[in-house]
Chains A and B, each alone.
Chain A
Amino acid sequence: MPLPPSGPRSTLASLAVIAAICAGAIGALAYTAGWLSPDRLTSTKLVDALAPSNGPVPGYRRNHAKGICFTGVFEANGNGAALSRARAFQTGRHPALGRFNLGTPDPGAPDATVRVRGLGLQITAEDGAVWRTAMINAPVFPVSSPEAFYALLRVPASKAPNAMAAFVAAHPEFAPFGAWAKSPDWTASYAQEPYNGLNAFLLINASGAEQAVRWSFRPQAQAERITPGDLAKRGEAYLEREIIERVAAAPQRWSLILTVAEPGDPTADPSRAWPEGRRSVEAGILVVERIEPEADGPCRDVNFDPTILPDGIRVSDDPFPAARSAAYARSYDLRTAEAKDYPRSAAEAPR
């Protein structure tokens, strides 16, 4: 039974309904996109806050900007396989690539001005599953939430007197990191540093059981303790020179230690160390075999996003991996768009 076209009054009403539906859809999208919530902490805000006062250095990572690539292998000994079904933990040699770096937004920062050293790592299992992680040498993270980290980043730009003191007073969890950062007990090589994941992840084994862990790569090289003053005397880019020579002479090794949480351990707060005496599992050895300068190196265009995990590892209730993933993606999008500002030293190399 065909209906006649609507009359003028109901036409107006119908048009109003259509307009309302479209406006509602646009409003919902705008709300979801955060356009109506300017206070929402976004990756753009986080990454902008990382920039030094004179602005970011285009073409480079927005943090941990100074670094050098390596390739090597992760030799799994099978001990981790009871905790995780990820192929990377099964006995075998899994190709690894990574990046030693300094926790600074300035790729030209002198080594002795940067306390935090980092390791970005990618392990690819033979089934093709990729595991990426980015770790630092600090034993704990400075703060307990991404919001607090954003507040910390904004301290240097603050015009308030004693902004740092006020921050520390408001964030007592900062104390252990602060004490570590102040200690003059530095090492003289990237190869002598431990690299700590700090965030808790869940390992899932073959029977589906989940277990929260934190992981660390502990160096086999003996630490040569050095003060920042003495490190400064060795030159602004000593660490890169040193690691090139050291690895050329012999591969360098780190043990992967999985620290197993017990019920009640603070998995959601990387500023809090877990109590001493937690069970630990040595799951294998990272062997760094070859160093390559970053400009043409295999790590240059890799985003060491800590949420890129193989089946058998997943994020826990720790809020940082998600925040880091969002911020790293923003940094990656920015720097790949600025690639011309960080020229390769050779002609565009095929890869």
Chain B
Amino acid sequence: MTADGKHFTGVQRFLHWSMAACIIAMFFIGVGMVSTIMPKYVPLLATHKTPGVAIFVLALVRLAVRARSGAPPLPADLTAPKKLAAHLSHYGLYGLMVAMPLLGWAMLSAGAYPVVLYGDIRLPAILPQNAALHTLLWNAHSYLAFAFFALVLTHVAAALFHALVRRDGVFAAMAPVGSRSGAAPR
């Protein structure tokens, strides 16, 4: 967080918003590609892999930055259950940012599919070919994607609730630009 203890650092905000864009795009690319047989299926599938790996790398960077820079405290008047929900949902978000790309990569490995990123970067298989593992990982990747989407929506709704209703500085702490136009923590 910043020196005033009220905001995330610029690096943290940059990571947050760039990853937000990637992750939201990935939900749509993912459900779009599995629902079409049109020519766009091929570029969608190719496009799904590179940001996936980027999200994985950025999530690790982000966790390291978070460990180093910390986070502003939640407002003191937030009730204990709400604080608990805030903490748990963030564990969930971080966990899924790391897990989803790994599950996808492992799923492709278990299906004996080559994993090729933009620039002809070929990733090694992280699992041997195995039908049962492929099925398990496919299901996990698919169901967790919808859980992730639901969690992101909850996160957005809660952020907007803080910004529009409580006006307690929680949203401003991570706002993409201008930290003073919102509210300072009360």
* A interface residues (Cβ-Cβ under 8 A, vs B): 2-6, 10-11, 14-15, 17-18, 21-22, 25-26, 28-29, 32-34, 40-43, 46, 128-130, 146, 301-303, 305, 307-308, 311, 315, 317, 319, 321-323, 325-327, 332-333, 335-337, 339, 351
Contact = CB atoms under 8 A, between A and B. Distances in A.
B13 interface: no
B32 A6 contact: no
Interface string B111-136: 11110000010100000110110110
B28 interface: yes
A5 B156 contact: no
Given A4-B167, A5-B166, A29-B28, 15 more contacts: A6-B164, A14-B165, A15-B161, A18-B160, A22-B153, A25-B153, A28-B28, A40-B36, A129-B114, A301-B129, A301-B131, A323-B37, A333-B135, A336-B131, A339-B131
Interface stretch (B39-47, B64-72, B79-87): B39-47
Contact of A21 (B39, B156, B166, B186): B156
A152 B157 CA distance: 48
B156 A22 contact: yes
Contact of A46 (B27, B37, B45, B131): B37
B11 interface: no
Contacts of B38: 319, 322-323
Nearest to A330: B34
B114 A130 contact: yes
B72 to A, nearest CB: 15
B183 interface: yes
A3 B183 contact: yes
A-B complex: 8 closest residue pairs judged by Cβ atoms: A14-B164, A34-B35, A33-B31, A339-B131, A336-B131, A323-B37, A311-B120, A326-B37
A15 B38 CA distance: 39
A128 B122 contact: yes
B27 A29 contact: yes
Interface residues of B, number: 43
B181 to A, nearest CB: 10
A6 B131 CA distance: 55
Contacts, number: 124
A339 B132 contact: yes
Nearest to B28: A32
B14 interface: no
Given A15-B165, A18-B164, A336-B131, A326 B113 contact: no
B115 to A, nearest CB: 10
B101 to A, nearest CB: 19
B160 A21 contact: yes
A339 B35 CA distance: 24
Nearest to A46: B37
Nearest to A305: B113
Contact of A308 (B37, B114, B128, B134): B114
Contacts of A302: 112
A25 B157 CA distance: 11
A319 B122 contact: no
Nearest to B39: A322
A33 B31 CA distance: 5
Nearest to B38: A322
B184 interface: yes
Contacts of A308: 113-114
Contacts of B169: 2
Interface in B172-186: 182-184, 186
Contacts of B112: 301-303
Contact of A14 (B111, B131, B135, B160): B160
16 contacts: A2-B183, A2-B184, A4-B167, A5-B168, A14-B160, A14-B165, A15-B165, A18-B161, A21-B157, A32-B31, A146-B37, A308-B113, A319-B39, A326-B41, A333-B138, A336-B135
A150 B59 CA distance: 42
A50 B157 CA distance: 44
A307 B157 CA distance: 40
A245 B147 CA distance: 53
Contact of B36 (A21, A303, A326): A326
A324 to B, nearest CB: 8
